[in-house]
Structure 1
Amino acid sequence: MKDLLFAIRPLVSDFFPTIVFAILMALHVDVRLATGVALLIGVGQVIFQKATHRPVELLQWASLGLVIVFGSVAMATNDPRFLMIKPSIIYLAIGAVMLRRGWMLRYLPADAVELVSDLQIRWGYAWSALMFATGIANGVIAWKAPAYWPAFIAIVPLASKIALFAVHFGSVRYIGYRRHARLQQEAAAEASIGEAQAA
Structure 2
Amino acid sequence: MKSLLYAVGPLVFDSLGVIVFAVLLGLGASVVAATIAGTVAAVAVVGWEVVRARRPAPLQWISLAMVLFSAAATLLTGDPRFLMIKPTIVYLIVAAAMLRRGWMNRYIPPEQVAEVGDVMERFGFVWAAMMAATAVANLVVALAFTPWWPLFIGVFPLASKAGLFAVHFATVQYIRRARAQRRIGPLAPMLATE
* Shared fold, TM over 0.5: yes
The Cα of 1:138 is off from its aligned counterpart by: 1.0
Which is greater in Rg? 1
In 1, Cα distance between the equivalents of 2:163 and 2:25? 25
Once the two structures are overlaid, the 10-residue window that deviates more, 173-182 or 55-64, is: 55-64
In 1, Cα distance between the equivalents of 2:155 and 2:22? 13
Inter-CA distance 40–163: structure 2 relative to 1 (3 Å threshold): closer
In 2, Cα distance between the equivalents of 1:175 and 1:87? 34
> Residue 115 of structure 1 aligns with which residue?
115
The Cα of 1:187 is off from its aligned counterpart by: 4.2
Unaligned runs of 5+ in 1: 26-33, 193-199
Deviations 1:29-84 (CA, angstroms, capped at 9, x unpaired) = xxxxx4444555566x28x85xxx755964324531333124433x2xxx422111
Is the CA contact (8 Å cut-off) linking 1:119 and 1:172 kept in structure 2?
A: yes
Counterpart AA for 2:80: P
> Residue 162 of structure 1 aligns with which residue?
162
> Residue 53 of structure 2 aligns with which residue?
none
Counterpart AA for 1:66: S
The Cα of 1:174 is off from its aligned counterpart by: 1.0
Tell me if 1:69 matches 2:73.
yes
In 2, Cα distance between the equivalents of 1:158 and 1:15? 8
> % of aligned pairs identical?
35
Is the CA contact (8 Å cut-off) linking 1:39 and 1:68 kept in structure 2?
A: no
In 2, Cα distance between the equivalents of 1:82 and 1:22? 18
Unaligned runs of 5+ in 2: 51-55
- Taking structure 2 as the reference length, the TM-score comes to 0.73
Which structure 2 residues correspond to residues 43-192 of structure 1 after superposition, within 5 A? 45=40, 58-59=61-62, 60-73=64-77, 75=78, 79-187=79-187
Q: How many residues align?
A: 174
Deviations 1:5-33 (CA, angstroms, capped at 9, x unpaired) = 333234232353454445448xxxxxxxx
Counterpart AA for 1:146: T
> Residue 5 of structure 1 aligns with which residue?
9
Is the CA contact (8 Å cut-off) linking 1:81 and 1:142 kept in structure 2?
A: yes
Counterpart AA for 2:103: W
Aligned residue for 1:85, secondary structure, equals helix
Inter-CA distance 155–62: structure 2 relative to 1 (3 Å threshold): closer
In 2, Cα distance between the equivalents of 1:63 and 1:119? 31
The Cα of 1:148 is off from its aligned counterpart by: 0.8
Please list every run of at least 4 consecutive aligned residues from structure 1 whose deviation after the TM superposition is greater than 6 angstroms: none
The Cα of 1:123 is off from its aligned counterpart by: 0.7
- Taking structure 1 as the reference length, the TM-score comes to 0.71
Higher RCO, Cα 8 Å, sep 6+: 2
